[in-house]
Amino acid sequence: MSRDGWQSAKELFGLALDQPAGEREAFVEKACGDAAVRAEVLRLLRLHDASSDFLVSPMSVGAGATEGGVDPLIGRSLGGFVIVRRIGVGGMGAVYEAEQGQPRRRAAVKVLRPGVFAPRMQRRFEYESEVLAKLQHPGIAQVFAAGTFEIGGGAAPWFAMELIDGPSIQTYVKTKLPGVDRKVAMLLAVCDAVQHAHERGIIHRDLKPDNILITETSAGAPQPKVLDFGVARSIDADVQTTMQTVAGEIVGTLAYMSPEQLSGDPERIDARSDVFALGVIGYELLGGRLPHGAGRSSIAEVIRAIEQEEPPPLGACDAALCGDLEVIIAKALEKDVSRRYQSAAALAADLRHFMNNEPVSARPATAVYRFQKFARRNRALVGGVTATMLALAAGMILYAREARTARQEAEKSRYEADKATAINNFIVNDFLMKLLTAANVPEGGKRLPVAELVEKASEQIGPMFASDPLGEAAVRNEIGSIHYNLGTLDQSAAAFQRALQLWEAKLGPDHPDTLKAVNNLGQVRARQQRSADAEALYRRALEGRRRVLGPDDSYTLVTMNNLAELYRGSKRLDEAEALLRQALESQKRVHGINHKHTITTFNNLAGLLMQRDNYEEAAELHRQAHEASRATLGSDHVLTAVTGVRLGLCLQRVGRAAEAEPLLLEVATSVERTQGASHPEAINARRVLGRGYRQQKKYAEAAEQFRLALAGAEGQPDGGAAGAGKIRKELADVEGRLGGKP
C-alpha cells in the first residue's frame, strides 16, 4: 500500500474506533470507496478486537484475584520459581508473583496464555526475554530465567524477571516529587537506562509512564525501572532478519509515539523514536499534561496532532518551566528527527547542563530558523535580497530574544498567551511570508527595499487588530524592533509610540509592557541623538521597572544599562560609572558572571574605564567578559569575538601587545571561518592586531594584517566605504616605515 493509502487507512481506522463496536465494519464499508484501504482498515479492526495489550506489566502486587475458579498454575514451580498468585492478565498471557528458593527472592513470571500459540505472537514473547537478558542496568528490570513448560499437550514459554511493586513514575512524581529539579533528576535516570538499551542495539518503542515503575535503593533513594521491552526492536542485524515488524503495523502506545512510528514504516524507526517518547514523558512529568492531543475526542485527532501540530511550550503549563528546560523538552519533541536529540545520552547531557546551571545545546526553532529553511527551498526567490534579508533576520533574532525573556519573566495568564499568539501570527505567518513574496515582485523594474516592505505589511496591522488593541500593541512593538534593526528610526519611533499609546490606555502607565514600550522608544531617541528625550524616557522606564518589577529584575537592569550608556555618550562619566557598577553587581548576584546581560555590562563598564584611562581595571573586566562569553556562547560566537577584540585593544594600551597577539589571531581566524573575512569583527581583529605589531615595530607583520583588513573591508557590499580609507592610511604608514621613511 502506498504512503497516501496508509495515511487514509490510518485516519479511517481512528474514526471507525469512535463508532459502537457492532457498527464499525458497516461504517468502514460505507465511508471508504478504495478497496485496498477498506481491506486494510477491516484487517486492523479485526486485530484490534482480537488482542489487548501485550502482557500487562508487573504493576503493583495488590491486584491479584483470579477470574473465576482456581488458576492451575498457582503453586506450580517453573524453573524453581513457585507461582504464588496472579497479578494481571493481558491479551497474550498472564503475569504472576512467584518465589524462588535459591537465591531466595520474589519475582514476576510472565506466561503465554494457553491456547494463544500463533507463531508470530510466540516469537514476540520469546523475543522479550532474549532482549531483557541482554540488558544489565539498575534502571531496567532484570530477567532472571526463561524456559517452557508442558500444558494442554503443548509447550508454553515463560520467563521470570525482577518484581517491581512500586508505583508508576507519574504517580510517584505527583505524590513525592513536587520540585522541578527532582523531576528532572528522575527523567535523567530514565534517559540513562534507555541509553544503556540503545548501546546494546535495543529500541524500546513503547516508553510510557506505565512502563516505568519506581522502587527504592537500599539507601532509600527512588530508582526508576524500565519494563516491557516486548515491542522492542533490535537494531542488531541477526535479530532483524527474524523480528521485522510487519509494514504498516503500529506498535506502541499512541500518546507517546513519534511521528515516524505513526507512519507504519519500520525502517524509519530508530533510537530517536525513544527520544521523542522521553520528551513526551518529560513534558507530562513536568507540565502535568500530555503535549499532543489534549482534549481530542478521537484517535484520528490525536494522530493528526502528533504529526502536524506543535505542542504548547512547556512554559504554558507553568511559567517556572520557561527557558532552558522548555527548549530541551521542545527539542526532544521535534517532529523533524534531524533536529531532535540524536540519542538519549544527548538529551541527558542537556538535562545535566540545566541542573548544573550550564549552557545547553538546545535552541528553539526561531522565526530566523524557519526563514532559513524557506530560503533553502527557494534560493531563486530570495537570491536578490540577501543583504536586506540579513537585516530582517537581525530583527527576527531580537524578536526571538525578547519573546523568550518575556516568557521567563511573565506570569502565566491569558493576556500573555493572547499577546504571543498575535505576535506569532503576524510576524511569522502573515508578515514574513508576504514579505518574501513581495521581495520577488519588481515594481518599476526595481525590488522594494526591505524597510518599504515592512511598511507595506504594517499597513495591515490596523484592520487586522481593529477589535484587539492589545494584540495590535504587541505587534507594533515588534515592528518597531524590526525598524530599529534596519536603521529606519522614524518608522521605529512611530511604531513604539503607537504601542505605548495602546498599552498605556488599556493596561495603565506602570504595566510591564507599557514600560517596555517606554524603554524601546528611549533607545530610538538615543540613536537619533535626541539625548534629552531619551533620558526622560529611560528615567521613566527605570523608575517604573524598579517599582513594579524590582531593582534586580532583568528588565530593570537593561534600562539601567541603557541610561548609563546615554550618560557615557554625553560625557557624564561619573553618573554612567555609578549606574554601570550598580547594574554589574546586581547582574552578577542575580544572573551570575556567565549571563549574556552580565557580559554586556562588563563590556560597557570596561569601555567607560578606558575612556577614563583606567586601562588596568578595564583589561580585567574585558578579560572576564571574554572568558564568560567563551564559556557561555562558545569560541565562534560574535559576542566572543567582540569581547576578544576589546580585550586585545586594552592589553595594547597598557603595553602588553605581545600578550594580545595570540588572542587577536584566534578571534580573526574564528570569525573568518564562521562569518567570512568581510565581517566587521574580522576586520576589527586584523586592524587591532596590525596596530599591535606596529607598536612592537614589527612593520612587515603589521602591513600583512592591514592588507587582510583592507581586503575584508573592500569585500563588503558598499566596498567598505566607511572604513577602507582609514585602513589604507594605516597600511601606507607601516609600508612607509618598512621603506625606511620616518
pLDDT tens string 676-694: 888 888 888 899 999 999 9
Residue 613, classified by CB atoms within 10 Å of its CB into exposed (0-12), middle (13-18) or buried (19+), is exposed
The span from the CA of 507 to the CA of 466, in Å, is: 17
Assigned C-alpha cell, 305:
496532532
CATH class belonging to 77-162: alpha beta
The span from the CA of 665 to the CA of 637, in Å, is: 15
Residue 456, classified by CB atoms within 10 Å of its CB into exposed (0-12), middle (13-18) or buried (19+), is middle
The span from the CA of 44 to the CA of 30, in Å, is: 17
82 bridge partner residues: 77, 99
Do residues 56 and 227 touch, judged by C-beta distance below 8 A? no
Q: At what angle do helices 469-486 and 414-423 cross, to 10 degrees?
A: 50
Tell whether domain 169-365 is in CATH 1.10.510.10. Answer: yes
Nearest-5° Cα angle at 126, 125 to 131: 100
Do residues 528 and 493 touch, judged by C-beta distance below 8 A? yes
Residue 267: CB atoms within 10 A of its CB come to 10
Residue 433 is which amino acid?
A: M
Q: What is the pLDDT of residues 44-88, one digit of tens each?
A: 777 555 443 333 333 333 333 344 457 788 999 998 999 999 887
Distance of CA 473 to the CA centre of its chain: 28
The CATH code of the domain at 655-742 is: 1.25.40
Assigned C-alpha cell, 550:
524590582
The DSSP 8-state label assigned to residue 254 in this structure reads G
Residue 409: CB atoms within 10 A of its CB come to 16
The pTM score is: 0.44
The span from the CA of 737 to the CA of 742, in Å, is: 6
Nearest to 594 by CA among 618, 625, 617, 623: 625
The span from the CA of 475 to the CA of 674, in Å, is: 33
End-to-end CA distance of the chain: 84
Give, in order, the Cα–Cα distances in Å from 71 to each of 58, 84, 101, 458: 18, 10, 22, 75
Residues of the chain with pLDDT under 50: 50-68, 116-117, 231-252, 297, 367-370, 373-374, 376-392, 396-398, 400, 406-414, 424-430, 432-448, 741-742
pLDDT at 134: 72
Do residues 328 and 351 touch, judged by C-beta distance below 8 A? yes
Q: To which residue does cell 488593541 refer?
A: 469
The span from the CA of 354 to the CA of 327, in Å, is: 11
pLDDT at 195: 92
Cβ burial 566-588 (10 Å sphere, 16+ → b, else e):
bbbeeeeeeebbebbeebbebbb
Give Cβ neighbours of residue 720 (< 8 Å, ≥ 6 apart). 678, 683, 710, 712, 713, 714, 727
Do residues 618 and 644 touch, judged by C-beta distance below 8 A? no
The span from the CA of 138 to the CA of 346, in Å, is: 20
Q: Is the dihedral of CA 161, 162, 165, 168 positive or negative?
A: negative
Instruction: Give the residue ranges of DSSP H helices in 231-298.
Output: 237-243, 259-262, 271-287
The span from the CA of 58 to the CA of 97, in Å, is: 8
Instruction: Give the residue ranges of DSSP H helices in 88-213.
Output: 119-134, 169-176, 180-199
Residue 291 is which amino acid?
A: P
